[in-house]
Structure 1
Amino acid sequence: MDSLTAEQIAERIWLSIAERRLRPGVRLKETELAEVFGVSRARVRQVLAILAREGLITSEVNKGAFVAEPGVEDARDIFHVRRTVEQRVLERLIDRLDDEKVATIRDHVEQERVANTQNDQRAIIKLSGGFHQMLADMSDAEFLSRLMRDLISRSSLITAAFRNSDQYNCGPDEHDEILLHLQNGDLKQAKKAMAHHLDHVEKELRLSGERDSIRSLKDVLLPQG
């Protein structure tokens, strides 16, 4: 029996991409993935289907699945769309924000600070994307929530491909500023802070240059000692 769900495996692969350990263009062999995770090839195919829906892999006939290789214009497109979507999220959220939601978001930002202090890159990546997803979920807009989940996955691939540094930091201080404006009911300043934040993230990308590759999926996907 498969010990891991397809969603659990997909998340581990997503994190490996976001952490820049699994690089764009790397082939994902079904047999090797099945061996690494101790699951059936049928489960692996479910995983690949999830990753394909999220735009993280591409498939080629008679060649198999590969980590997607976004281009420079793809990167710019993703951030262009994110700017529009996240502005709309703020518009929907500001009138739905209550004390409980504020406390939940603030606790999340504090977790980001702890992760940054400990330089826990895995936690930083998950929490950074989680902040933006949380705002979308709290906006009570199912379409925006689904759209943000897709955009966050694709943004992880973009940052893995083009980030200048191995250190990933979406910015708890900037997240805190966005929350402060929302809490004060100042939509204009919240939107301005979000736009500045996304500009900052995009400017950290090096939208040119060569990309590295890896030698073995086992080196990347097996738990680190």
Structure 2
Amino acid sequence: MNTTLPAETATQRIVDAITAAIVERRLMPGTKLVEQQLADLFQVSRTLVRQALNQLSRDHLVKLQPARGAFVAEPSVDEARQVFEVRQMIEQQLVRQLCARATPAQITTLREHLAREAAAVQAEDITLRTRLLADFHVLLARLQGNEVLAELLADLLARCSLIALMYQSSHSAEHSASEHIELVDAIEAGDIERASALMSDHLGNVERGLRLKARTTDLANALGTVHP
């Protein structure tokens, strides 16, 4: 066992790794997270793994089921809609504030991030581009100097990654990257209303790209009309 790291650090390392795998869409919804396997992978005790899974459960990224264990969460249609509703409220206000006070250095930081996005999209590096497209929204909060908001957005974006996997997003990485460029253009121009509208449209486009239809639990509807 790895005893060189403090318990809190080791637990957070597990949380961060699983969260990153979810954001980068390497862990599918419903995947079973076996405690002993995780303990072996991270070279820690099962107690620390259990602590990490409990934290991920509080963040709604993992579902703990009695007598069955831990599973990567499978967000419902209602949860998906609520997550996007919250993002709309938070991120429109965020860009309005940033638009009013963005500095040339902050615009440069955003442009550098956009360049990394474009390179990842061009290289068809799915893992990197997925992370960078999500990190763009967190970066907007960090440029405001608001770490609490940045952490909240990171949690919401991780949940959005699960939602995209659950409901087969058709909103392409190319579209997201292009919309990010338009948004930064508006922020640089100090156009508050346009920046807010672009963020609203961007999040709306991502949500509309999802097949947010409840999965039927009715056997007859699922199988259709069966004739003898």
Q: Same fold (TM over 0.5)?
A: yes
TM-score by length of 2: 0.81
Q: Which residue of 2 aligns with 1:59?
A: 64
Larger radius of gyration: 2
Which residue pairs with 1:144 in the alignment?
Answer: 149
More divergent stretch after superposition (160-169 vs 184-193) = 160-169
1:33-182 to 2 correspondences below 5 Å: 33-164=38-169, 171-182=176-187
In 1, distance between residues paired with 2:202 and 2:32? 33
Aligned to 2:223: none
- Asked if the contact 1:121–1:167 (Cα under 8 Å) also holds between the matched residues in 2, the reply is no
User: Secondary structure at 1:171's aligned position in 2?
Assistant: helix
Post-superposition offset of 1:77: 0.8
Rounded to whole Å, the distance in 2 between the matches of 1:117 and 1:62 is 45
Distance 1:193 1:12, change over 3 A: same
2:197 aligned to which of 192, 196, 203: 192
Cα-to-partner distance string for 1:164-215 (whole Å, 9 max, x where unaligned): 46975662211111011011000100011111111121122122377xxxxx
* Counterpart Cα distance in 1 of 2:68 and 2:47: 18
Tell me: CA distance 1:62–1:107, structure 2 relative to 1, closer, same or farther (3 Å). same
Q: Which residue of 2 aligns with 1:204?
A: 209
Unaligned residue ranges in structure 2 (runs of 5+):
216-228
**Structure 1: gaps (5+ residues):** 211-225
Q: Counterpart of 1:214? A: none
- Determine what percentage of the aligned residue pairs are the same residue: 37
Distance 1:143 1:9, change over 3 A: closer
Question: How many residues align structurally?
Answer: 210
8 Å CA contact retained: 1:3, 1:38: no
RMSD (CA atoms) = 2.4
- Highest relative contact order (Cα 8 Å, sep 6+), 1 or 2? 1
2-structure distance, mates of 1:179, 1:137: 15
Between 75-84 and 169-178, the greater mean CA deviation after superposition: 169-178
SS of 1:25's equivalent in the other structure is: coil
**TM-score scaled to structure 1, two decimals?**
0.82
Q: Cα–Cα, structure 1 residues 41 and 208, in superposed 2: closer, same or farther, change >3 Å?
A: same
In structure 1, distance between residues paired with 2:3 and 2:214? 40
- Residue pair 2:99, 2:195 contacting (<8 A) in 1 also: no
For the 8 Å contact 1:54–1:153, the answer to whether it is kept is no
Q: Deviations over 1:4-47 (max 9, x none)?
A: 84444333323433454432222211012122333332332233
1:120-174 superposed Cα distances (whole Å, 9 cap, x missing partner): 1111111111100010122234443332122112111211211246975662211
Quick one: distance in 2 between partners of 1:19 and 1:141? 24
Relative to structure 1, the CA distance from residue 162 to residue 18 in structure 2 (aligned partners, 3 Å threshold; closer, same or farther) is: farther
Q: 2:188 aligns with which of 183, 186, 202?
A: 183
Q: What residue identity is the alignment partner of 1:174?
A: E
Say if 2:12 is the partner of 1:14: no
With 160-169 and 175-184 compared, the bigger mean Cα shift is at: 160-169
Other-structure match for 2:221: none
